[in-house]
Structure 1
Amino acid sequence: MSDSRRRKPPLVAEKRYGRKPSKPTSKSLVKNSRALKKKPKSRTRSKNSKKKSNPNPIVRFVRAVCGWLFKIVWAFVWRSSLVVMLILGLAVSYVYLTLPEVDELLDGRARGSVTLLDRDDKVFAWRGDQFGGVVTADTVSEHLKHAVIATEDKRFYWHFGVSPRGIASAVRINLSEGRGPLSGHGGSTLTQQTAKLLCLGVAYDAADWDSEAEYVQDCRRGSIARKAKEAVYAMAMEVKYTKDEILSVYLNRAYMGGGAYGAEAASQRYFGKPAANLSPAEGAMIAGLLTAPSTLAPTANLQRSQDRAATILRLMNEQGYLSDLETARNQKTPATLSEAAKAKAGGYFADWVMSSGPEFFTRNTTEDVILKTTLDPRIQTAVEEGLKWVFDNKVREGSKAQAAIVVMSADGAVRAMVGGRQTKVSGAFNRATQAKRQTGSAFKPFVYATALEKGAHYDDSVVDEPYCQNIAGSGRWCPKNYTGKYYGEVSLTFALMNSLNIPAVKVSEKAGRENVRTVANMFGIESDLAAGPALALGASESSLLEMTGAYAGILNGGSSVTPYGLVELRLLGEQNALMGTGGGIGERVISDAAARELIWMMEKVVSEGTGGRAQLPGWQVAGKTGTTQAARDAWFIGFTSEYVAGVWMGYDDNTPLTGVTGGGLPAEIWSQAMVRVHEGLAPRPLPAFVPKSQPKPKRAPQKKRGQGIDDVVNGILKDIFGRN
């Protein structure tokens, strides 16, 4: 039974022949309208996608090649970067493991320091590699810390040891200035500079290097390979140490000129104060030395150092470390040197003490050494001023003549030394100790000392007349007096005070030439002495220091003297001295009586003879002039009851002096220096004997042009009877 209401399926598909559309409903109308709206859009997208899917074959090829190359490059870059980072990490890790504790890096000097103290225990000179002690970034003055960062690395606290930005900037500047990319500005961070100071961990070993200078030069090489190692070392330091620890190492190891290594040494060297107490101007001056410590050191050129400090102060202001007011005030009142720093390295005296001390505690010391010396700064200043006064007022402008002075006590303690006209020097040729020059008549006191020791007396007679000797291998030798005259029978006192040559030779031959040599040697003249009769006339060479020391032996009563400048040597921080005085009074050479008689005779040289220009108001002075052949050397050596002083004058190349004798400019230099030395001292007489009845020594008549025979006779009578 079928259901007549069920609709039978069509025998043919409706779509084949169409179908009568049904009446649209409201829903279908909305649906159809949406479809109509989307249809154009769908048609457009289809069209574009068709175009994209069918590009130009050339474009498709180029795109394919570029994509392929990009994939290769990218794969190479990220893999290479990974390898480089891995290698860099391993390198940094290896260096990190080799780095010592920070305390071991603070003092990296290969040599020790030498601090010289004067007789009052005040520092007057530094030598060697001066190290004032360990400082840290927390203990130094904040002004010094800020000045260093502002100058050397303003991004110090933000980078990881290397600054790509700084390197790029340095390369750009170098190329713009026509240099190679690594020549000139290096773009190094403060950490890299510290790594360089540590020589990348390679310690100095004398067995591996010809000199310390060669080692330092190698540490400063700027090759690409070296820069790469430096960068690795710097990054390892950043991992191992804190920023302040790195800065502390830098502040302790950096060379800051004047022999000073580290901030504390520089602060003491230039300003005589701890690094913790530096002002902004002083901190800026020290920070300014880091770029060129030798040329910018204030002891080398104070004005240049102050100008550099002014620039550092401006940088500190720009980076917010100083206000405008503080900057202006410190630029207006720049830092100045302490009194000790003004003396630079102690001049000729410090040179001499350093050269005369034990080498392992002075020139090549690995320890920090303190040397107490005999220097009297007041006397040193007096001597320098006296020398300057004579050259400013008595010597023609432009003269190249040189002079040297030594002042010492009767026991040989050297109180002052000048080795040339330029007094503020270090390492210069010292004419007081290094120059060996003929002594001329300044040697004659040792001839008369020998005669007095052999039994002669001040009033014994000797005939001044033409005199000759036949010298084996040299022929006939006939000495003459400086005046070219002969004075007949004269006393020993008269012969000495007028520096007569013929009587000196006769006295020497009578006392025994070898005896004269022995006495001179025992008094401290160690130079080779002439073997012939010209020995008596000072034909031998000697140094000013030797001669002055020998005269000190006469003043102290006839005992030998070894000049000395070192009183005590000890290590820094130790109280007990390792060694004491290196000189002083030695064995007796002549008797006290002979010495007193000789002093009396030498006093006549100054009061009545050739040394008249050396007189000091209120003081007794004994001494002797000396002028060598052709006036190549001029000497005056003399003493008061307080001090012995020697003066030499001449040219370094042995050019003869013009119109200068020992009784001229040298005697004036001696007088000008000693007047200043004796200021404030109460005069005391010389330790000379006093004859019971003082004879009136015969004086050489001073015949003037147009003078008649009566005047000559009257002059002689006046000399004999009218002189006290």
Structure 2
Amino acid sequence: MTKSGRKSPRLVAEKRYKKPAGKPAKTRATTTRKTPTKRRRKSSRPPRKGVIGLLQRLVRWVLRLFWKVTWRVGVVVLILLSLAVGYVYSTLPDVNALLDGRARGSVTLMDRDGEVFAWRGDQFGGVVTASTVSPHLRNAVVATEDKRFYRHFGLSPRGIASAVKINLSEGRGPLSGHGGSTITQQTAKLLCLGVEYEADAWESEAEYVRDCRRGSISRKAKEAVYALAMELKYTKDEILSIYLNRAYMGGGAFGAEAAAQRYFGKPAATVAPQEAAMLAGLLTAPTRLAPTTNLERSQDRAATVLRLMNEQGYLSDSEMKAAQDNPATLSAAAQRQAGGYFADWVMESGPEFFTRDTTEDVIIRTTLDQRMQRAAEEALDWVFENKVREGSEAQAAIVVMSADGAVRAMVGGRKAQVVGAFNRATMAKRQTGSTFKPFVYATALELGHHHDSTVVDEPYCMDIPGSGRWCPTNFDKKYRGLVTLQQALRQSLNIPAVKVSEAMGRDLVRQVATDFGIDNQLADGPALALGASESTLLEMTGAYAGILNGGSSVTPYGLVELKLIGDDTPLMGTGGGIGERVISEEAARELTWMMYNVVHGGTGGRAKLPDREAAGKTGTTQAARDAWFLGFTADYVAGVWMGYDDNTPLSGVTGGGLPAEIWRETMVRVNEGIDPKPLPMLRPQPKPKPQPVQRQRRRNTNFENFLKDLFGR
């Protein structure tokens, strides 16, 4: 072999043998097997061309762009939300500062026996927590308002979506109607998202509240941020505690404690399941569902709440049925709702900064006697049901007071259970008619005349400067000639009253009436004696109390003591009572006897009581627009007014008719159980009848003296 510069190729096995036909040659690489990684095969189908392909590529591009923008925007929104929540979190105060958020205080009114009979202002019974209230109440609120309260983070997307669906299905806007709010969101709304009420910044407190309750999208967004911050700041029980203390539950009650005391007379810690269900049911519509407004409707709502508690495992079937079969009822005080007009009058007559605009919690002890209040209300109802034609719109008012002016009962209209209504006993100024005449005769008695002084009842006319000739007449158009003052008052004669007033002097009559407490501007002309002046029923009743107490003036009063809750020292005491003497006690006692004859034989016969003495006076104004009866027993004074609010004349009614009957029915009930006492009045001794002249034996004085000397007698 010839050697050359190149090496001969290396002989290998593969080169030695030929590959069998049809069989792949094995290589060394095949000796080590590896599982190939699965890869998504690309579609072998070529991309579509034309319009469809263009649209597909455009959609894919838009989706990719949307995703790139969305996640970036989402990150930015998340950062901004975190900053907003963090800022709100830093501004939230300690939970204890949020439990009582009322803008004004409360007033609790107690009767003469110390029993609560009325509430005014924003009631707050005291702080409660989720752990101190009855478990039934806590469960009822959660079951009704937010069943996932302990599981969500402050917002409930499921609840919001459900609320939007319901609103749209009912034809409303997505945020109108059902809100889907959690308890946390509702609490944020109650806190007005941290904006405190400032009187200078808002037109009214109501406007502030309306702004807090707005449901715009921006407001909902702020509410969500505030709710998230609250969830970070406070525990679930702390949030629920704020809600239980701030929620309005109708009847002026803010918070669970005030509502439990208001409706059931017990603390929130001891309410039963049916009572808890009623309180929780109020949260939806507190004013409409308040049991003091409509007990049956409130009980129906409570039955629904009990069912929800059962469905969510808070009550067994037997517990739910027992509670539904025995629904919650109001306490005795809440049932009576006594003294609506009386409570309003006390609130109006008291100092404004401790009653109507108080920022403190105040307790006022009053003169109200709830038994007498019910007596007056029942008497008025009985007369209108049995004596007045059906459908009559006539009104009436009643005032009952002691001789010192302490008001024991007040009815300002036919609807007794009211708050803030027009009070005809204190606000309506009406002509007094013949009920003014006792003050004319009081003047005459004080000036030395007596019940048996005489005046002539005859046609009588006067020339009044600027008005012409005035000729008063009696009610029956008859004249009785010479009559005593007692007869003139008993039969309510007009001409004698005018003559006595003119003889005594109108200025003196006006002064006596004013001193007795008739504080309105009195008429200047001679019609003063016939009650042409206007006055309120409260003033007139107080003036008659002055006659009963022996001739001293009286300032009617209802407030006995005012103090702040928690304080033992009263801030103020009685604002009325007996004042200065107006006429002598002798004159008052004689006038009482004259008024006694009005009831026992005069125009006030229908007011006569079956078991005790009474004195009073009827009154009917021109065209019978007003009818009055005022009178007293030895213990109490009562006044009754009847008429129409629009001055429509009464049909067939005089003071001696229906008003006297209302007075009688009232006083029979008021004096029930009280031993009869005689009236403090002058009781004239009947003059002995003149004896006929008889022939007397002439006595022999000398003979009688002789016998005395003889027998030592």
Deviations 1:385-430 (A, max 9, x none): 1111111111111111111100000000000000111111111111
Correspondence 1:464 to 2:457: yes
Q: In the TM superposition, what are the counterparts of 1:101-250 in structure 2 within 5 Å? A: 101-250=94-243
Query: 1:405 aligns to what SS in structure 2?
Result: strand
Give the equivalent residue in structure 1 for 2:44. Answer: 52
Q: Structure 1: 5+ residue runs without aligned partners?
A: 3-7, 697-724
Give the equivalent residue in structure 1 for 2:624. Answer: 631
Structure-1 separation of matches of 2:47 and 2:241? 67
Structure-2 separation of matches of 1:475 and 1:60? 111
Correspondence 1:308 to 2:289: no
CA contact (8 A) 1:626 1:634 kept: yes
Structure-1 separation of matches of 2:189 and 2:629? 55
Question: Residues 57 and 555 from structure 1, CA distance in 2 versus in 1: closer, same or farther, beyond 3 angstroms?
Answer: same
The partner residue of 2:484 within 479, 485, 491 is 491
Structure-1 separation of matches of 2:340 and 2:180? 39
Structure-2 separation of matches of 1:428 and 1:208? 30
**Normalization by structure 1: what TM-score?**
0.90
The partner residue of 2:530 within 522, 532, 537 is 537
Q: CA deviation at 1:276?
A: 0.5
Q: CA deviation at 1:74?
A: 2.3
Q: CA deviation at 1:333?
A: 1.1
Question: Residues 376 and 12 from structure 1, CA distance in 2 versus in 1: closer, same or farther, beyond 3 angstroms?
Answer: closer
CA contact (8 A) 1:132 1:264 kept: yes
* Aligned-residue identity in percent: 72
Amino acid at match of 1:234: A
Residue range with higher mean Cα deviation, 656-665 or 193-202: 656-665
Question: Residues 23 and 568 from structure 1, CA distance in 2 versus in 1: closer, same or farther, beyond 3 angstroms?
Answer: closer
The partner residue of 2:335 within 312, 332, 342 is 342
Query: 2:478 aligns to what SS in structure 1?
Result: coil
Structure-1 separation of matches of 2:124 and 2:206? 19
Q: CA deviation at 1:328?
A: 1.0
Query: 2:207 aligns to what SS in structure 1?
Result: helix
The partner residue of 1:259 within 252, 258, 263 is 252
Q: CA deviation at 1:56?
A: 5.3
Deviations 1:520-544 (A, max 9, x none): 0000000111000000000111100
Q: CA deviation at 1:288?
A: 0.6
Amino acid at match of 2:130: A
Amino acid at match of 1:552: A
Structure-2 separation of matches of 1:472 and 1:110? 58
Question: Residues 505 and 14 from structure 1, CA distance in 2 versus in 1: closer, same or farther, beyond 3 angstroms?
Answer: closer
Q: CA deviation at 1:227?
A: 0.2
CA contact (8 A) 1:127 1:345 kept: no
Deviations 1:321-373 (A, max 9, x none): 11111111111111111111123373111011111001111111110000000
Structure-2 separation of matches of 1:49 and 1:647? 103
CA contact (8 A) 1:171 1:181 kept: yes
Structure-1 separation of matches of 2:512 and 2:20? 156
Q: How many residues align?
A: 680
Query: 2:132 aligns to what SS in structure 1?
Result: coil
Q: In the TM superposition, what are the counterparts of 1:469-488 in structure 2 within 5 Å? A: 469-488=462-481
Structure-2 separation of matches of 1:11 and 1:625? 151
Question: Residues 695 and 617 from structure 1, CA distance in 2 versus in 1: closer, same or farther, beyond 3 angstroms?
Answer: farther
Structure-2 separation of matches of 1:666 and 1:91? 70
CA contact (8 A) 2:434 2:618 kept: yes
Correspondence 1:274 to 2:267: yes
Deviations 1:293-324 (A, max 9, x none): 11110111111111111111111111111111
CA contact (8 A) 1:345 1:426 kept: no
Q: In the TM superposition, what are the counterparts of 1:671-682 in structure 2 within 5 Å? A: 671-682=664-675
CA contact (8 A) 1:106 1:249 kept: yes
Amino acid at match of 2:403: A
Question: Residues 53 and 460 from structure 1, CA distance in 2 versus in 1: closer, same or farther, beyond 3 angstroms?
Answer: closer
Correspondence 1:511 to 2:521: no
Q: CA deviation at 1:242?
A: 0.2
Structure-2 separation of matches of 1:306 and 1:54? 73
Give the equivalent residue in structure 2 for 1:719. Answer: none
**Normalization by structure 2: what TM-score?**
0.91
Structure-1 separation of matches of 2:642 and 2:490? 21
Structure-2 separation of matches of 1:447 and 1:14? 155
Amino acid at match of 1:546: E
Give the equivalent residue in structure 1 for 2:517. Answer: 524
Q: CA deviation at 1:179?
A: 1.1
Question: Residues 86 and 689 from structure 1, CA distance in 2 versus in 1: closer, same or farther, beyond 3 angstroms?
Answer: same
The partner residue of 1:439 within 418, 432, 442 is 432
Q: CA deviation at 1:692?
A: 3.3
Question: Residues 464 and 695 from structure 1, CA distance in 2 versus in 1: closer, same or farther, beyond 3 angstroms?
Answer: farther
Q: In the TM superposition, what are the counterparts of 1:699-710 in structure 2 within 5 Å? A: none
Q: CA deviation at 1:177?
A: 1.1
CA contact (8 A) 1:482 1:500 kept: yes
The partner residue of 1:653 within 640, 646, 655 is 646
Give the equivalent residue in structure 1 for 2:399. Answer: 406
Residue range with higher mean Cα deviation, 654-663 or 549-558: 654-663
Correspondence 1:292 to 2:277: no
Deviations 1:73-116 (A, max 9, x none): 22212211111110000000000000000000000000100000
Structure-1 separation of matches of 2:361 and 2:9? 122
CA contact (8 A) 1:129 1:259 kept: yes
Give the equivalent residue in structure 1 for 2:711. Answer: none
Structure-1 separation of matches of 2:43 and 2:187? 65
Deviations 1:441-468 (A, max 9, x none): 0000000000000111110000000000
Give the equivalent residue in structure 1 for 2:441. Answer: 448
CA contact (8 A) 2:339 2:409 kept: no
CA contact (8 A) 1:495 1:504 kept: yes
Amino acid at match of 1:440: G
Question: Residues 23 and 384 from structure 1, CA distance in 2 versus in 1: closer, same or farther, beyond 3 angstroms?
Answer: closer
Structure-2 separation of matches of 1:593 and 1:54? 127
Question: Residues 132 and 10 from structure 1, CA distance in 2 versus in 1: closer, same or farther, beyond 3 angstroms?
Answer: closer
Q: CA deviation at 1:137?
A: 0.3
CA contact (8 A) 2:339 2:373 kept: no
Give the equivalent residue in structure 2 for 1:717. Answer: none
Query: 1:52 aligns to what SS in structure 2?
Result: coil
CA contact (8 A) 1:345 1:425 kept: no
Structure-1 separation of matches of 2:148 and 2:242? 18
Give the equivalent residue in structure 2 for 1:716. Answer: none
Structure-2 separation of matches of 1:632 and 1:52? 106
Query: 2:276 aligns to what SS in structure 1?
Result: helix
Structure-1 separation of matches of 2:12 and 2:146? 91
State the Cα RMSD in Å. Answer: 2.8
Structure-1 separation of matches of 2:46 and 2:485? 133
Deviations 1:478-518 (A, max 9, x none): 00000110000000000000000000001111111000000
CA contact (8 A) 1:169 1:187 kept: yes
Q: CA deviation at 1:178?
A: 1.2
Structure-2 separation of matches of 1:10 and 1:421? 132
Q: In the TM superposition, what are the counterparts of 1:510-659 in structure 2 within 5 Å? A: 510-659=503-652
CA contact (8 A) 1:126 1:345 kept: no
Question: Residues 88 and 606 from structure 1, CA distance in 2 versus in 1: closer, same or farther, beyond 3 angstroms?
Answer: same
CA contact (8 A) 1:452 1:594 kept: yes
Structure-1 separation of matches of 2:410 and 2:688? 38
Residue range with higher mean Cα deviation, 177-186 or 494-503: 177-186
Q: In the TM superposition, what are the counterparts of 1:30-49 in structure 2 within 5 Å? A: none
CA contact (8 A) 1:197 1:253 kept: yes
Query: 1:404 aligns to what SS in structure 2?
Result: strand
CA contact (8 A) 2:338 2:370 kept: no
Q: Structure 2: 5+ residue runs without aligned partners?
A: 690-713
